[in-house]
Amino acid sequence: MVAAKRNEVSPSLDATFLVFSSVQTLGMEKKTDLTSDDQLTRDDTGADSEATVSAGESSFLLNAIDAPQIWSARQIQGHVGGYELVKEIGRGGFGIVYLAHDQKLKRDVAIKIARPEVVSDKVAVRRFQDEAQSAARLDHPGIISIYDCGVQDDLHYYVMPYLTGQHLGDWLAGLSAPMSELQAAELMIQIAGAVQYGHESGIIHRDLKPQNILMQQTTSGELRKPVVLDFGLCAHTDSTVATTTRIAGTPRYIAPEQAMFGDRQITPKSDIYSLGVMLYQMLTGTTPLAPENFAEAVLMLHHASIDGPQKHRPELSDAMQAICLKCLRRDPDLRYESASALAADLQRLIEGEPIEAKSPGLMERFGYELYHGSLAKVFGWSVIGINFFIWAWAAIGALLVWQRHFDVPGLAESLPEFIFFVLVVVMPFHLLGSHAGYMMIRNTRNYRWLAFMSAVSLVWSVIQATNLFSNGTTLKLYEGRVVATTLVFLVIAPAFLAQSCMLAAGAWTAWRRSRASV
């Protein structure tokens, strides 16, 4: 779903917004041109409910939808499923939305009709139907409901309430100053409650942003009741749609894992990140990062640092900053476990109680660089370098000992032992170590092998260290030669200790990677 362009109509006008359209506009004839970033991944499915209008009316409406010009209420006349179309009020990637009148119940409704290019694609039709079905199964006051759905020849549609209000983005833009901590916390608690309900129902929104939150007008005329809109990109938690095989969402609000190519599973924690971006925007008037397209989002979300909201508003509390930054962790495992956990922490903030969120520490940043950054590859190349360097160091040390002491009695007898040790132990061990480093470079998921090599490297480091603190050595070649022993094993022991640590870090990262792919 692409981000809607900022509506040019003044937010002070009495605006009536349609929910669940990809682009919700003011209740006027003005239309925003869009390019759809929606990605379709489902197979086709069965038909909707029976048709209720004539084929002639259906064809006329479809031609009107397909026309490039802006259609006003006078230009579009027709009925769909017992609903009289009044005017177009929104147009997005999957459908076009009209203000309509329910002739049976005598009320205004919003009706979304699938675009012609959607109708001609069975996969797209399935996606359009999924949007309606996903919303229809959610019965929550903070999520818009579905009244009806149907199909008339090539016209697929569904019907929703026609709500009066203003998008959160426009509402925030109309404020004279960013929201206070208390106001932002109270508003986010309501939004998080609706998102949590969707997660408990097995639905991930994937495109949470201010333009998909309607500040519904209350009976007193205040815009204080947030309603979550537009489930056009939603996915079930057990669905193949909830992966990163294709990037979908809005660049400024998607989570880092949504901007990663590959078959990576999207979870409810992706929505937590988007909630964090909106909370940040409520408090500061800006988003943490500002990519203009998906190419920039891929780079910025994984490499650009995020400033705490206190940089924009120094008077914000440390607790609120910690809550924001916990939502915005690049590693999903370090975000809140659920939207309800975020809401609970915000409630603790309101009540003046200690919060659970903590500022990111050194180990957290280290873990992220291993998992998402280039540190694992750096460690992998380092392991390979250690093995080649130590092999060369030990070989040169042995040659120098042989050169200086070749006439010493008994040294010749130790040569077969040394050659056997090099061929049977040293070379295979270094080759296996180098292979483990190569696996880290390749982002392996085989954590068991890396953990095994880490343990072997640690044992080998201990064995080599004993040569420094005992009278004997593992090889007769070095016996009685203190300087040579010290020079050789003082380098080998720490090097393999470092290798053990790097392989352990690689094993931990591989374990996390294997768990994420399940």
Ordered DSSP codes for 273-295:
HHHHHHHHHHHHSS-S---SSHH
Which pLDDT score is estimated for 256?
A: 86
- pLDDT confidence of residue 419: 72
Nearest to 432 by CA among 401, 476, 386: 386
35: tokens are 């390019």
Note the pLDDT tens digit of each residue in 19-55: 333 333 323 233 333 333 333 222 232 322 222 333 3
Angstrom distances, CA of residue 451 to CA of 196, 395, 500: 37, 27, 9
Copy the structure tokens of residue 174: 């109309």
Could you say which residues of the chain have pLDDT below 50? 1-76, 239-245, 518
CB 328 within 8 A of CB 280: yes
According to the model, what pLDDT value does residue 321 have? 95
Instruction: Tell me 243's DSSP state.
Output: B
Q: What is the pLDDT of residue 394?
A: 74
Question: What pLDDT score does 331 carry?
Answer: 82
Per-residue pLDDT at 434: 95
Give kind and range of the element (H or E) at residue 496.
helix 482-516
What pLDDT shows up at residue 65? 47
Query: How much is the pLDDT for 235?
Result: 66
- Residues forming the active site: 207
Position 206 scores a pLDDT of 85
269 is annotated as contributing to ligand binding: no
Domain architecture of the chain: domains with CATH: 16-360 (1.10.510.10), 369-516 (no CATH)
